[in-house]
Amino acid sequence: FELKFKEIQIRMWLWRRTRYIHIKYRPQSLPSISTLHQHRANDLEEQLKCAENTAVALAERLKMKEDELLCLKSKANDLEEQLKCEENTAVAMAERLKMKEGELLCLKSKVNDLEGKVQVLSKRNIFRNRIVCMSFVLFVVSLFSLGKGENG
């Protein structure tokens, strides 16, 4: 029974409290209620406009970022193609370098062969020049000796 009594006391206290709040904060006239609702409606409209403007701005930013992303993808593709082109050029230049090195080795071999032949020919020419020189000296000596014999 005592528990029931406490429960009733609490309910009465809550009822008085809520009644006091309702009475204290109750608007005095109906027009003030509609004004309050009008202000609230205006605030909500402003919030809605702000939200719409924010949504539009975010959509524009999203579009700009998507355009920027497409531009960057295009640039990346262009750079990949340029890189492939540069790699192909490097491969071609390496092949040309190998060919030129082969030609250079071939030319060095020819130069060595020709130098050997020139050395052989120059040795022959030196020997031939010595023979010609000796022949000329013998000819002159024989002329002088023949000339001395007739005159002498």
Per the CB < 8 A criterion, the answer to whether 34 and 40 are in contact is no
pLDDT of residue 2: 56
Residue that wins the pLDDT comparison between 102 and 58: 102
Three-state DSSP at 29 gives coil
The stretch 11-23 carries a mean pLDDT of 58
Q: Is the pLDDT of residue 55 over 70?
A: yes
Residue that wins the pLDDT comparison between 88 and 147: 88
Buried b (16+ CB within 10 A) or exposed e, 75-90: eeeeeeeeeeeeeeee
The stretch 63-88 carries a mean pLDDT of 95
Q: Is the pLDDT of residue 30 over 50?
A: no
State if pTM tops 0.75: no
Amino acid at 112: N
pLDDT of residue 105: 94
The stretch 126-145 carries a mean pLDDT of 81
